[in-house]
Amino acid sequence: MHCLYAAHRGVFISYLHGILDLNHEAEHLNERFSYLFHQISARLSMIGNRHFRQYSLNHFSARILVLLLEKKEMRTGELVEMMALPQSTISTQLLGLHKRRLIHRRRSRQDNRSVIVTLSKDGEVLARNCDGLSRSVHKLLTEAMTEEEYEAGYAFLNKVNAHLAGMENRELYRFDDEPA
């Protein structure tokens, strides 16, 4: 994926130069990637929640259902890794899905500490609908892009994601003493 990013980096950088001065310190919040990613995430959640509300789902539980649809079965640890969420958040989501009988959970025969999750019949139906919504949003987002723009954007976002994963356990900024 890094090669793909390098091959299309010029296209994406040219695109960004039209939006930002890349040498700028991003003094204002609305000039920072982290804020833009926040807005994108919030908008995706709002779009999804509008559809998920009637099924008592949220953005996280819908993504879990789609992952299970694609993978057929997953260990809880795999869901934690793929969703990039804490174990406690995944456990809470799985508990809700299990109570609604959308998933089945069982202990692994090889490792009793490991829980394997699969979709129930009702869960599979709902997962297909969540996947349909995800595909519709993806299509609407990408239909105005050229193949080159799509590949460059996808590669760039993967690079950002990998870089952020490397920052997760680092102290990036030391806060001043606590306010009085």
HSE value, Cβ hemisphere, 13 Å, CA-based, for 49: 8
Which of 139, 161, 165 is closest to 150 using CA atoms?
Answer: 139
**Predicted local confidence at residue 178, as pLDDT:** 74
Hey, what domains does the chain have and what are their CATH numbers? Answer: 2-158 (1.10.10.10)
What is the pTM (predicted TM-score) of this model? 0.77
Which of 39, 14, 1, 22 is closest to 146 using CA atoms?
Answer: 14
**Predicted local confidence at residue 109, as pLDDT:** 75
Give me 48's structure tokens. Answer: 């999804």
CB atoms closer than 10 angstroms to residue 98: 15
Positions in the chain whose pLDDT score sits under 70: 1-24, 112, 180
Place of tokens 């700028």: 24
The three-class DSSP label of residue 104 is: strand
Which of 106, 98, 40 is closest to 64 using CA atoms?
Answer: 98
**Predicted local confidence at residue 180, as pLDDT:** 64
> How far apart are the C-alpha atoms of 171 and 174, rounded to whole Å?
7
